[in-house]
Amino acid sequence: MIETVVSMELPVDEKLTIRKNRIMPTHPSGEEKRIAIVTGTHGDELEGQFVCYELLRRLKAEPGYLKGIVDVYPALNPLGIDSITRGIPMFDLDMNRIFPGNEEGPMMESMVYRLTEDLKGADLCVDIHASNIFLMELPQVRINELTAETLVPLARKINVDFVWVHASATVLESTLAYSLNCVGTPTLVVEMGVGMRITKTYGYQLVEGILNVMKEMGVWEGSVGEVRTPVVSTDREVGYLNADSAGIYVPKIKIGEQVEKGALLGEILNPLTGDVEQAVTAPISGLVFTRREYPVVYSGSLLGRILGGVEK
Amino acid sequence: MRKTEIYNMKSPYREDLKISGYSFGHGRKSACIVGSIRGNEVQQLYVCSQIVRKLEELEAANAITADREILVVPSVNHHAMNIGKRFWPVDNTDINRMFPGYDLGETTQRIAAGVFEKVKDYDYGIQFASFYMPGDFIPHVRMMDTGKQNTSLAGLFGLPYVVVRKPKPIDTTTLNYNWQIWDTNAFSLYTMETDFIDEVSARQAVSAVLRFLTRMGILKYNSHNGYISTVIGEEELTSVRTSCGGIYRRLCHPGDEVHMGMPLAEIVHPYEGNVISTVLSPTEGIVFFTHKKPLVTENEVIFKIIRRLHE
Ligand SMILES: [Zn+2]
């Protein structure tokens, strides 16, 4: 059933509405577990749209196997998605930096408060992101080290290639995931694919993973395909490639490739002079899990990330 | 007056981003003044330019105290200003949410790191900033409650109000917050305008800075004493919200004294022209902030009122 989570009037003859689709088991007992699939916080990240569609299709195809409640929120930032805007149009702050919202705050903060209230109490929340328009990411779950103990076991089952446990930072305390994890709703952040595009293979991969986690939780009794075991980053080094010159970046490797330290990963070209401004080489050996897609770079632009082997 | 390069970054298709600083006096790093960090902060740029002009005159008249150095950085993000954007043009990130920066990180982290390297270590840091809620404020000094703030120093600007804000996680990456963490007394000054120039409040801001520098013994300058500031916590402000969307008609302005039940604004039906909602003041007090744009959504904060305060 499609429900309105929160709705506010815009100035002229329109409402801003966040909606969800609640799928219930055929014979609810009142004791079901509930899982929430959320995406579309950043309006330029679309990978989650296909995941929502495909997951709903699978659930609706075999309704008898569903033993819990699944809430699907495809668009937390509908105005952003609809206008190819990463943030919230007309609002300064990133939507993923104002959680858990503020009932007494400006309009968007009060909307986020109501959204958080709606998500609270779910037994699991999966928040799907697609990096941004600049970077392609191998399907991965990102976990704040403070919540690693609870979340890593769940993340292992969601069919991603990689689980990245990262250091905590004060500024990240206002994300949806941090806020929900704080109030006891385990929330996994998935990053995969690239902004403004749909990578169907990644979509199918994650849907299989979500169904697998649902099966573990007793929410789904239908079939689940092969699920891969991810690499967990806890004891591994992550190497960052940042540009040191301005120009046009042309990568020479594919995402998911293993590279050796010092290998040529790409070049920053100067289209006016015909020179190579910088030959970009691998800072460490390992798996390329992030690759720059958008060619124009400044000094500092992220060109890629490499997951190193087990540290000695 | 010495013009120096604070930071330089190559651009693929435009001229290099050159961030300039103007130094006055010599010796102890006493005061650093930063203007526009966002591309729409034109008033902030203008105020800084007027401070530079004034300090040049004062330096020529030997009015800068011995062993005191003042640095002014009028603009950080003119790459955005020149093309009508607020944030960094390439990835739309906010340089004022990247401090203290990271010199091996992303582009705007590198810019923030380069700027912070040059603006830290001063005794006093003054930033002309803009708030994330667009609208008009009474001119005031804003400080972050880091446990290191000194509100009595903030009062020495002689502006009508000093507002203390409890930092939210997102505030921990601003210049103001990091100045304080690195032991600089930091103040953010808000004037009436951002995207447009308001001469009256710009002059008031220039005077406030010169008054502060004089009172701190950095400058010798005779100025009016200004106000004895009233210190308020941001949580003491009463927010007033809309109950519907539409065309916004403002009836009161920052600084106005209002009483309970007084109409503050009207919302007009966007097609039919009739007043569909009259927003009444829930308290008596002084208007601190008003929404300014001609349109409003439902549930938007359009007024903030300092409760039970009188002119
Ligand atoms: Zn995202």
Residues B80, B106 share a domain: yes
Tell me what percent of the residues of chain B surpass a pLDDT of 90: 87
CB-based contact, B270 to chain A, within 8 Å:
yes
Sign of CA dihedral B178, B179, B183, B185: negative
Name every chain B residue with its beta carbon within 8 A of the beta carbon of A98.
170
DSSP string, A179-198: HHHHTT--EEEEEEE-TT--
Nearest to A171 among B133, B173, B247 (CB): B173
Residues B271, B146 share a domain: no
Q: Measured in angstroms, how far is the CA atom of residue A94 from the centroid of ligand 1?
A: 10
Task: Tell me how long chain B is.
Answer: 311
> CA–CA separation, A38 vs A18, rounded Å?
11
Q: Looking at residue A231, what is its pLDDT?
A: 93
Residue B50: C-alpha distances to residues B44, B72, B213, B295 (Å)? 10, 11, 15, 33
Kindly report the CATH number that applies to the domain delimited by A236-308.
2.40.50.100
Kindly report the CATH number that applies to the domain delimited by A2-229.
3.40.630.10
Residues B269, B151 share a domain: no
Nearest to B10 among A13, A299, A302 (CB): A299
Residues B272, B123 share a domain: no
Residues B172, B24 share a domain: yes
| Domain end position, chosen among B168, B193, B228 | B228
Q: Measured in angstroms, how far is the CA atom of residue A95 from the centroid of ligand 1?
A: 9
Task: Tell me how long chain A is.
Answer: 312
Residues B248, B177 share a domain: no
User: Which residues of chain A are in CATH 2.40.50.100 domains?
Assistant: 236-308
Residues B90, B27 share a domain: yes
Q: Looking at residue A92, what is its pLDDT?
A: 85
Name every chain B residue with its beta carbon within 8 A of the beta carbon of A246.
9-12
Residues 9-38 of chain B whose Cβ lies under 8 A from any Cβ of chain A: 9-13
Substitution target in B11, B79, B91, B248 with the highest count of A β-carbons within 10 Å is B91
Mean pLDDT of the B74-89 span: 97
Q: Looking at residue B120, what is its pLDDT?
A: 97
Reported confidence tier of residue B146, pLDDT bands at 50, 70, 90: confident
Residues B48, B93 share a domain: yes
Mean pLDDT of the A10-17 span: 97
Nearest residue of B to residue A108, measured between CA atoms? B300
Taking the CA of residue B240 and the nearest CA in chain A, the distance in Å comes to: 9
> CA–CA separation, A102 vs B53, rounded Å?
43
Number of separate domains in chain B: 2
Predicted confidence (pLDDT) at residue B273 exceeds the cutoff of 60: yes
Mean pLDDT of chain B: 95
> What CATH number does residue B15 fall under?
3.40.630.10
Query: What contacts A109, CB < 8 A, 6 or more positions away?
Result: A98, A101, A102
Residues 130-169 of chain A whose Cβ lies under 8 A from any Cβ of chain B: 132, 134
Q: Looking at residue B55, what is its pLDDT?
A: 98
Give the domain range for residue B58: 2-228
Nearest to A106 among B12, B86, B133 (CB): B133
> CA–CA separation, A163 vs A186, rounded Å?
15
CB-based contact, B82 to chain A, within 8 Å:
no
Helix (H, G, I), strand (E, B) or coil at B128: strand
At B183-204, the pLDDT tens digits run 999 999 998 888 889 999 999 9
At A103-137, the pLDDT tens digits run 989 999 999 999 999 999 999 999 999 999 999 99
Cβ of B106 within 8 Å of Cβ of A248? The answer is no
Helix (H, G, I), strand (E, B) or coil at B171: helix
Cβ of B90 within 8 Å of Cβ of A296? The answer is yes
Nearest to B297 among A10, A86, A172 (CB): A10
- Residue A50's CB is within 10 A of a number of other CB atoms, namely 21
Cβ of B12 within 8 Å of Cβ of A134? The answer is no
Q: Looking at residue A310, what is its pLDDT?
A: 63
Residues B122, B245 share a domain: no
Residues 42-81 of chain B whose Cβ lies under 8 A from any Cβ of chain A: none
Q: Measured in angstroms, how far is the CA atom of residue B101 from the centroid of ligand 1?
A: 21
Q: Looking at residue A142, what is its pLDDT?
A: 96
Residues B213, B248 share a domain: no
- Neighbour-count burial of A21, counting CB atoms closer than 10 A to its CB (0-12 exposed, 13-18 middle, 19+ buried): middle
Q: Looking at residue B310, what is its pLDDT?
A: 79
Residues B255, B158 share a domain: no
CB-based contact, A247 to chain B, within 8 Å:
yes
At A135-155, the pLDDT tens digits run 999 999 999 999 999 999 999
Token representation of residue B310: 């009188």
**b (16+ CB within 10 A) / e for A228-261:** eebbbbeebeebebbbbbbbebebebebeeebee
Predicted confidence (pLDDT) at residue A235 exceeds the cutoff of 80: no
Mean pLDDT of the A160-164 span: 96
Nearest to B106 among A105, A106, A300 (CB): A300
Nearest residue of A to residue B238, measured between CA atoms? A104
CB-based contact, A10 to chain B, within 8 Å:
yes
Residue A275: C-alpha distances to residues A58, A248, A272, A281, B297 (Å)? 51, 11, 8, 17, 52
User: Which residues of chain A are in CATH 3.40.630.10 domains?
Assistant: 2-229
Nearest residue of A to residue B112, measured between CA atoms? A300
At B27-53, the pLDDT tens digits run 999 999 999 999 999 999 999 999 999
Residue A129: C-alpha distances to residues A40, A47, B90 (Å)? 7, 7, 20
Nearest residue of B to residue A178, measured between CA atoms? B169
Cβ of B270 within 8 Å of Cβ of A13? The answer is yes
Q: Looking at residue A309, what is its pLDDT?
A: 83
Cβ of B106 within 8 Å of Cβ of A134? The answer is no
Reported confidence tier of residue A312, pLDDT bands at 50, 70, 90: very low
Taking the CA of residue B173 and the nearest CA in chain A, the distance in Å comes to: 7
Mean pLDDT of chain A: 96
Nearest residue of B to residue A247, measured between CA atoms? B12
| Domain end position, chosen among B173, B199, B228 | B228
Cβ of A9 within 8 Å of Cβ of B297? The answer is yes
> CA–CA separation, B74 vs A31, rounded Å?
62
The partner residues of B232 in beta bridges, in order of sequence, read: B163
Question: Between β-strands B140-144 and A162-166, what pairing exists: parallel, antiparallel or unpaired?
Answer: unpaired
| Domain end position, chosen among B183, B200, B228 | B228
